[in-house]
Amino acid sequence: MPMSSAYLLVSHGSRDRRPEIAMQQLAKLVCNKLPENHNALNGAHQVGIAALEMSPQPLHEQIQEFAKRAFCEGKLSQNENRLKIVPLFLLPGVHVMTDIPAEVALAQQTLGQDIMIELQPYLGSHPNLEKLLAKQIAAIKTEAWILLAHGSRRPGSKETVEAMAASLPAVAAYWSVPPSLESRVKELVAAGYKEIAILPYFLFAGGITDAIAASIEELKLQFSAVNFQLAEPLGASAELAELIWDLTDR
- CB atoms inside a 10 Å sphere around CB 130: 13
| HSE toward the beta carbon, residue 180, CA cutoff 13 A | 8
Full-model pTM: 0.92
For residues 213 and 89, state if they share a domain.
Answer: no
Strands 80-87 and 195-201: unpaired
pLDDT tops 90 at residue 155:
no
Containing structural domain, residue 221: 129-230
For residues 242 and 186, state if they share a domain.
Answer: no
17-40 pLDDT tens trace: 999 999 999 999 999 988 765 544
DSSP 205-222: -SHHHHHHHHHHHHHHHH
Question: First vs last Cα of the chain: how many Å apart?
Answer: 21
The three-point CA angle 243-245-250 to 5° equals 90
For residues 111 and 171, state if they share a domain.
Answer: no
181-233 pLDDT tens trace: 999 999 999 999 999 999 999 999 999 999 999 999 999 999 999 999 999 99
For residues 191 and 86, state if they share a domain.
Answer: no
For residues 152 and 200, state if they share a domain.
Answer: yes
User: The CATH number of the domain where 86 resides is what?
Assistant: 3.40.50.1400
* Count of structural domains, the chain: 2
